[in-house]
Structure 1
Amino acid sequence: MDVIVIGGGVAGAASAIALRRIGAQVTVYEAHADPAGQVGSFLSLASNGLRGLDALGCLEAVRQAGFAVPDQRMWAGSGKLLGEVPRGRRSNDPTLSTTLMRGHLVEALREHAQRAGARIVTGRRLVGATPVGHGVRAEFADGSSEHADLLVGADGLWSTTRSILDPDTPRPVYAGLYSVSGIAEGVPAAPGTFNMVFARNGAFLHVPAPDGTVWWSAQVADRRQPDLTGVDNDQWLHRLADLYRFERQPHAIIQATTRLHRPTLMHTLATVPTWHNDHIVLVGDAAHPVGAGQGASMAIEDAVTLAQTLAKAPTTGAALADYDRLRRARVGKMAKTAAGNRDAKTTGPIKRRLNDLIMPIVFRHFFDRATAWLYTHDLGTLPTPTQDTRLPRP
């Protein structure tokens, strides 16, 4: 089976690894000249995402690129501790959440995909896809085209593949939040703890790194979509220091910042009705940008599940239908959870005070049980690279 993967980020690289594990010939086409590099800020992989990496055979490589974060603390803007829970896992799970820069995750996955035999081609942007016989022809902006049995759209929130599958597909809309992230030095912080502050003007996340720096991200609530261009780093830091002037720890971290990442708008996407046809399928944010710190983990789960269904089903079309069935309910539930998290970051003062009263009870008595469905998900395994794996007929 010849497979084209569109997008060289987390979803694309993970899909390439998984598909090589079942014997497919895989070429990844990435629109950017370098799909890795230090683009974006940090992310965390929860226990479910780490089990997905274990199935792909690259768990240790990713762990070495980041650091373990066992615990998470939620704080009110006043400085009151609302709750302390295990970070990205159940309390009895020894698999500790891993935090790392997004670029380092992409680099680790891409390197593993290339070692597994996947080919990565950069600077090629998909513009169309046409059914041809028992396969599909991918058409690129430079006028070239390539034929394959399967095209995997791993091209993110602004997916071209999604629009090719369904020209009437939903479009991303501004979520009422934008994110500014950075690295601070010289600020005391408890090691091994991910912190989330529910501030007046949006959430503020921060986690101490092993080198003594503090990685942070301000998710600023703003109903009107801001213009993020033309503002330099000093202006951003001055603006953020003013927005978080009421919260002691966030304000101190912002003032101690030595490196700032590019600000980004946060978006939501309505349920995508069409994830696949007989020879094209969506994975990761192209199908379901879930948020709530689960974007990378869900993309990894997608990759593993897609390869598993292709290894078992009699035809490609049947495999893609199985993949859709197996993934929709889970990511739909995750999307609802993410919407609740997003609402908590943009709430007004009255509801924020109510949350300050309710959240300690929720975290103390219900959190572990309420997140069991997410963190205990059993993906199963993939064939080892040496196994003779049967692939579906086109």
Structure 2
Amino acid sequence: MRVSVIGGGVAGAASAIALRRRTGAEVTVHEAYETVSDQDAAGQVGSFLSLAVNGLRGLDELGCLAAVQAAGFPVADQLMWSASGKLLGRVPRGRLASDTLHSTTLLRGRLVEVLRAEAVRAGARFVTGRRVVPSEAEGDLVVAADGIWSAARTALDPAAPAPEYAGLYSVSGVSHLPDLARGSFHMVFGHRGAFLYIPAPDGTVWWSAQVAAPEPPDPAEVTSGLLEELYRTSRMPLEVLRAATRVDRPTPMHRLAELPVWHDDRTVLIGDAAHPVGAGQGASMAIEDAVALAGAVAASPDVPSALAAYTRLRRPRAARMTRSAASNRDSKTPGTMQRRVNDLLMPFVFRHAYARSTSWLYR
């Protein structure tokens, strides 16, 4: 079997590994950028992500868990804070409390770099420097892993919904605060949006400001001074921002309505092309997709049957994750009254309901 993968990010590289190792297919990955380095093709250096245990177990299925773990660092817990500095809850980060496997945080570019190296090691071939659409791709199977602005999505269905701005934009950066305790991920529910930060082993702090705004910002106007003003009432975010050594460009966050069409007889959407979810699960869900797709191809008599089986398996879980992500996004932009209610209720929720509400994802 010959397979063309469109897009060399997390979803594309993971699917190349899975299809090579599970089915032995001849896999070619088409990457639009000229190189396959983390800087040129994986986004801004410094932006980070966390892989929850569902994504890590997918990597274990692909045979590259250890390599990815070595590229990042483990994070055991997540602490939630109010804007005033009140601790609202402490929960396991991306896992069940009983799970000895801890989530891994790493630079997005490093994850892509490791997965691409593993794909090449598995026997996949990379072709760079030209954008490819499904009709141009050769092979028995075309895997469209071309992200939230997927051209393959509209090629499959011209009436497919388009991404919409979600009312938040994200700004990532790095600060120098060597005295902060390591090992935990922090989320602060600020007055203008959530602020995430995590102390890294090298004494830096990786952070992301998720700012509520009715319209996407002008990148030139989003400065460290503006962020300090937006988070002036939140003690820890303000301290982190004042210690910033780098502030990246803002990235508008988008949502996508559920797609009626995921595949035809040859082409299938995976990762953000099919279901951008956010909530710290984008990469993990893409890895799950790759494992599930390879399993369906290996178990089915032909490609159309495999794509139908893959879609039946993945649609319900992706839809549930999308709903969860929407609730997560809404919790970051409450009004003043709702924020006060949340400060009262969240400690109870995190103590008594959080594990039950997330166990479906990590089992």
Large movers: runs of 4+ above 4 Å: none
| Aligned twin of 1:80 | 86
Structure 2 CA distance, aligned partners of 1:36 and 1:242? 35
Mapping of 1:139-218 within 5 angstroms? 146-186=137-177, 188-218=179-209
Structure 1 SS opposite 2:38:
coil
Which amino acid letter does the alignment assign opposite residue 3 of structure 2?
Answer: V
| Aligned twin of 1:9 | 9
Asked if residue 103 in structure 1 is aligned to residue 109 in structure 2, the reply is yes
Mapping of 1:206-355 within 5 angstroms? 206-228=197-219, 230-231=220-221, 236-355=223-342
Deviates more, 1:237-246 or 1:36-45: 36-45
Deviates more, 1:59-68 or 1:352-361: 352-361
Asked if residue 90 in structure 1 is aligned to residue 96 in structure 2, the reply is yes
Which amino acid letter does the alignment assign opposite residue 268 of structure 1?
Answer: R
Structure 2 SS opposite 1:148:
coil
Structure 1 CA distance, aligned partners of 2:342 and 2:300? 47
User: Can you list the C-alpha shifts for 1:229-287, whole angstroms capped at 9, x where unaligned?
Assistant: x34xxx61001000000001100100100022222110000001100011000100000
| Aligned twin of 2:30 | 29
| Aligned twin of 1:391 | none
* Structure 1 stretches lacking a partner, 5+ long: 130-137, 139-145, 377-394
Instruction: Supply the RMSD in Å over aligned alpha carbons.
Output: 1.0
| Aligned twin of 1:380 | none
**Number of equivalenced pairs:** 357
Structure 1 CA distance, aligned partners of 2:68 and 2:150? 26
Q: What TM-score comes out, normalization by structure 1 length?
A: 0.89
Residues 6/241 of structure 1: CA separation in 2 closer, same or farther (3 Å cut): same
Q: Which one has the largest radius of gyration?
A: 1
Structure 2 CA distance, aligned partners of 1:9 and 1:95? 24
User: Can you list the C-alpha shifts for 1:58-104, whole angstroms capped at 9, x where unaligned?
Assistant: 00000000000000000000100000000000000001000000000
Contact kept in structure 2, 1:187 and 1:253, CA below 8 Å: no
* Structure 2 stretches lacking a partner, 5+ long: none
| Aligned twin of 1:68 | 74
Which amino acid letter does the alignment assign opposite residue 375 of structure 1?
Answer: Y
Contact kept in structure 1, 2:228 and 2:242, CA below 8 Å: yes
Contact kept in structure 1, 2:51 and 2:281, CA below 8 Å: yes
Structure 1 CA distance, aligned partners of 2:153 and 2:130? 17
Which amino acid letter does the alignment assign opposite residue 2 of structure 1?
Answer: R
Contact kept in structure 1, 2:134 and 2:142, CA below 8 Å: no
CA drift of 1:32 comes to: 1.4
CA drift of 1:186 comes to: 2.5
CA drift of 1:370 comes to: 1.4
Structure 2 SS opposite 1:304:
helix
| Aligned twin of 1:57 | 63
Which amino acid letter does the alignment assign opposite residue 258 of structure 1?
Answer: T
Asked if residue 42 in structure 1 is aligned to residue 48 in structure 2, the reply is yes
Q: What is the aligned counterpart of 2:361 among 348, 365, 374? A: 374
User: Can you list the C-alpha shifts for 1:23-50, whole angstroms capped at 9, x where unaligned?
Assistant: 0000000111234414231000000000
Structure 1 SS opposite 2:165:
strand
Structure 2 SS opposite 1:147:
coil
Q: What TM-score comes out, normalization by structure 2 length?
A: 0.97
User: Can you list the C-alpha shifts for 1:100-148, whole angstroms capped at 9, x where unaligned?
Assistant: 000000000000000100001111102451xxxxxxxx2xxxxxxx421
Structure 1 CA distance, aligned partners of 2:182 and 2:138? 50
CA drift of 1:355 comes to: 0.9
